[in-house]
Amino acid sequence: MSDDLTALVTGLAQRAKDASRVLANASSAQKNAVLRRAADALRGAAGDRVIEANARDMMAAEQMGLSKAMLDRLQLDRSRLDAVADGLEQVVSLPDPVGALVEERVLENGLRVGKMRAPLGLIGIIYESRPNVTADAASLCLKSGNAVLLRGGKEAFHSNTAIAEVFTQALADEGLPAEAVTLLPTTDRQATLVMIGLDGIVDMVIPRGGEGLIRFVAEHAKVPVIQHYKGVCHVFVDRSADPDMALEIALNAKVQRPGVCNAMETLLVDAAVAPTFLPKLGAAMGARGVELHADDRAAAHLNGVKPASEADWDTEYLDLILNVGVVDGIDAALEHVAKHGSNHTEAIVTKDAAHADRWLREVDASLVLVNASTRFNDGFALGLGAEIGISTTKLHAYGPMGLAELCTLKWVGQGEGQVRQ
């Protein structure tokens, strides 16, 4: 690894870390003013510069032969930039997590103790093609009093640089250190390696993107990583389920937005209700263009399905494809989910309170649901106001991460001279 690159990345990270101490003590008003300035800038001349920079990225990407889907993710226009600016204003409207006191109590000796939310320090975000992540991540990190070190994708380099400049300018205009939002000036993989090795400087890294990127970061990081590999989400139709509710939930979970991680990939049905439920399911899914991969027992009640291969049960399709399996009751369903689930989102449809309770307790997933669509695993849908990602890591944060999850909880105690006996 080149010494120059190591020194460059380390130096930038250290300056961002130094800036984080100032951000940690910035007032809510100051932080909100930065976000408002950035929103205004994106709606004005700075936004034009972002769109010009994006045009350069798009031209290069087209020459490199990127897929249409990737080009769409990369593209910024006036309406998308307005949506980014709206997002910044939404973050302004959220309560400041820093300084909030939770779990307050008074000990027998009169010491008042509790936990206070405090920023983590410097958060690293490693992401791929979408340039709007630059603004989303910067706004959530700033609002939670953290500095952010961004490593964007090479396709979006000019767009990301222009967006990051909007934030550094807004910080400077508010008298805060511009280094609190630092975009690495290189997308070299070696620079990423240096960044994720900066134990003691970078407090947490969140990789956002494909499974390959996340595995690379998890494998090589020396700093804590919050991972989100994939969502292989299940809906289990219990024998006691209301069949109409089960059908509605299954359809929503599969077809409302199939390309996202909280969409359902596998439906499990209790054998007791398979003969009545599956024909309706097959017809409804067929009408919406969903291709079904079924096990033998399910296929007996479905028309025109493919056999599910062993690998299918572990596949995140992100598409209009659904595995369907028949299981012998809730124990078999829990077994299947424990084996094939991805700790993301798991739903049961049931009228049986004991089964609902077992599902909630026994399923190990970031969101466990009774009688609701898997599509609810999302920071906006769960009322966080915004999210920086959905963690399937059990430490620190499990599920959607909002402003509170970008903070730590430090213990605080207030006494009148108490000493230890």
Question: Residue numbers of the site for a second copy (CB under 8 A)?
Answer: 21, 24-25, 98-99, 105, 107, 111, 113, 116, 118, 120-121, 199, 203-204, 218-219, 222, 224, 242, 245, 248-249, 251-253, 256-257, 338, 356, 360-362, 364-373, 375-377, 381-383, 393-396, 398-400, 408-420
Nearest to a second copy of 51, 334 (CB atom): 334
On the 0-12 / 13-18 / 19+ scale of CB atoms within 10 A, 379 is buried
Nearest to a second copy of 247, 292 (CB atom): 247
The DSSP bridge pattern shows strands 306-307 and 291-294 to be parallel
Smallest distance, Å, CB 61 to a second copy?
Answer: 32
Is residue 181 within 8 Å of 171, Cβ to Cβ? Answer: yes
Q: Count how many residues are written for the chain.
A: 421
Smallest distance, Å, CB 51 to a second copy?
Answer: 31
Smallest distance, Å, CB 295 to a second copy?
Answer: 23
Nearest to a second copy of 161, 374 (CB atom): 374
Residue 351's alpha-carbon distances to 26, 62, 139, 253, 340, in angstroms, are: 50, 53, 42, 19, 25
Nearest to a second copy of 44, 200 (CB atom): 200
Smallest distance, Å, CB 388 to a second copy?
Answer: 14
Q: How many CB atoms lie within 10 A of CB 175?
A: 11
Smallest distance, Å, CB 48 to a second copy?
Answer: 34
Residue 325's alpha-carbon distances to 113, 229, 274, 310, 395, in angstroms, are: 51, 24, 9, 12, 32
Is residue 174 within 8 Å of 33, Cβ to Cβ? Answer: yes
Smallest distance, Å, CB 224 to a second copy?
Answer: 5
Question: What is the signed CA dihedral for 102, 18, 128, 254, rounded to 10 degrees?
Answer: 0
Nearest to a second copy of 20, 159 (CB atom): 20
Nearest to a second copy of 300, 412 (CB atom): 412
Nearest to a second copy of 113, 284 (CB atom): 113
Picking from 388, 372, 369, the residue whose alpha carbon sits closest to that of residue 380 is: 388
Smallest distance, Å, CB 160 to a second copy?
Answer: 26
What secondary structure letter does DSSP report for 259? Answer: T
Residue with tokens 């359902």: 264
**H or E element, residue 268:** strand 264-270
Nearest to a second copy of 71, 372 (CB atom): 372
Nearest to a second copy of 136, 203 (CB atom): 203
**What is the spatial distance between Cα 365 and Cα 338, in angstroms, rounded to a whole number?**
9
- DSSP secondary structure string for all residues of 323-347: EEEEESHHHHHHHHHHHH--SSEEE
Smallest distance, Å, CB 108 to a second copy?
Answer: 8
Smallest distance, Å, CB 257 to a second copy?
Answer: 8
**Where does 27-180 have alpha helices with state H?**
28-43, 45-63, 68-74, 78-93, 132-143, 157-173
